[in-house]
Structure 1
């Protein structure tokens, strides 16, 4: 059965048509200034008291990471003050000492915020920043061991 000569011609015509279509210019895109939505801005700057713990942790991490990535100090007072500025209640916080038991600078500082039955626990120091959600201890605290009095 002989092949039709029309098929190869159709393929060539289609290729030329698609190739020519690629040469046409499209209108330039119009630049617009992005307008942040009110909800996105509010979500980035505040946390509802009844927010689920996963949202609270995400906010906690944004607040701490932004502060530390911007060169913020890793001493306990500075970390606590940063969290207070973001809306966390100082009365719900704990922080470890800035110094070791022999008076040297601590390699890292642990800090926490009590939220109901959960604790947002952060650690900042020479190895970077990390966090976790942990259950409240039987003592009602978030951190084990001796913590620094937050009296400022």
Structure 2
């Protein structure tokens, strides 16, 4: 009687092991072939339709521009406006006009601070020498933004201090801001 391949004995003598091994091998081979076919399909070049109609393109929303630096906070406190005051002071201090009081007043007014609320000390002495330091201020709702610069000042300095009891921000004689 002829022996069918399905019922032939394997090297261990068990007839079903050989059939199970063949089925498992063909299943694995089919699985690998399917994965390769799917992978290769993704790599195949696509045909370009020469008469295709343009599809609408999506445009990202334009972001709202943000200010480059601090801005004047009209309804804010002196502390809220210290960053802008400091930036203006540092900008002027980095120029050739770094010891000219008018340059600070003009720059602060240009940034939106009220010129009528400002004070500045003289930048020249009574014998017409450059002052060792100058101070300038902006009165702001019972407080003062005060800046100090000059050769005797290690670095431009800005602070918020309470206004003086008699009013104003700077002690001593200040220069009239008449320009």
Structure 1 length-normalised TM: 0.68
Structure 2: gaps (5+ residues): 1-61
Q: How does 1:33-112 map to 2 (within 5 A)?
A: 37-38=64-65, 40-41=66-67, 44=69, 46-112=71-137
Structure 1 residues 103 and 72: alpha-carbon distance in aligned structure 2, compared to 1, 3 A threshold: closer
Greater Cα radius of gyration, structure 1 or 2: 2
Query: Which residue, out of 155, 158, 169, partners 1:142?
Result: 169
Structure 1: 5+ residue stretches without partners: 1-34
CA RMSD in angstroms comes to 2.1
Greater relative contact order (CA < 8 Å, ≥ 6 in sequence): 1
Q: Which whole-Å CA distance do the structure 2 matches of 1:36 and 1:76 have between them?
A: 39
- TM-score scaled to structure 2, two decimals? 0.59
CA shift, 1:144, in A, is 0.2
Q: Does the 8 Å CA contact 1:98/1:106 hold for their aligned counterparts? A: yes
Which residue is 1:30 aligned to?
none
Deviations 1:36-67 (A, max 9, x none): 743x317x363121113222111110121123
1:117 to 114, 126, 142: 142
1:91-132 CA distance string (max 9 Å, x none)? 000000011233321011100000001000001112330011
Equivalent pairs, count: 116
The whole-number CA distance in structure 1 between the counterparts of 2:63 and 2:105 is 29
The 3-state SS of whatever aligns with 2:87 is: helix
Tell me, yes or no, if the aligned pair for 2:143 and 2:161 is still in contact at 8 Å: yes
> Distance in 2 between the 1:85 and 1:121 partners?
17
User: Conserved in 2, the CA contact under 8 Å of 1:45 and 1:86?
Assistant: no
Q: Does 1:151 pair with 2:175?
A: no
Other structure's SS at 2:122 match: coil
